[in-house]
Amino acid sequence: MRPEGEAPPSRLAAAGLPTPVSRRWSVQRLNRPNRLWGSNGVAFGPDGRLYVAQFLAGQVSAVDVASVTSR
C-alpha cells in the first residue's frame, strides 16, 4: 500500500521507457488507474449491463450498473 498522496508507478517505467520530462510543463496523474483501461466504446446491453470495449486490453468488460456505487 502506498502512503497517502504518493503517485502510483508509471506504466512507462514498467515498460522500461523514460518518464516524460519538460522544462515548460509538468506531468502528473489526475485520476487513479482503473480496470477499464484503454476503453474506446461503450453500450448498454439488453440485460441492463454496461459493456465497455477495451482496445488496448483486448477485451470487452460488462459492468452491472445496479451494483456500482458512485463516489
Given a contact cutoff of 8 angstroms between Cβ atoms, the answer to whether 65 and 50 are in contact is yes
DSSP β-bridge partners for residue 54: 39, 59
Q: Which residue has the higher pLDDT, 30 or 63?
A: 63
The answer to whether 52 touches 37, Cβ cutoff 8 Å, is no
**pLDDT greater than 50 at residue 3:** yes
Q: Can you read off the three cell numbers belonging to residue 20?
A: 516524460
Per-residue confidence (pLDDT) for residue 9, from 0 to 100: 64
Over residues 9-58, the pLDDT tens digits come to: 666 666 777 766 778 887 777 777 777 777 888 999 999 899 999 887 78
Instruction: Using the predicted structure, report yes or no on whether residue 62 has a pLDDT greater than 60.
Output: yes
Residue 67: closest CA among 46, 43, 42, 50: 50
- What integer pLDDT is reported at residue 71 of this predicted model? 44
Amino acid at 51: Y
- DSSP state letter for 64: -
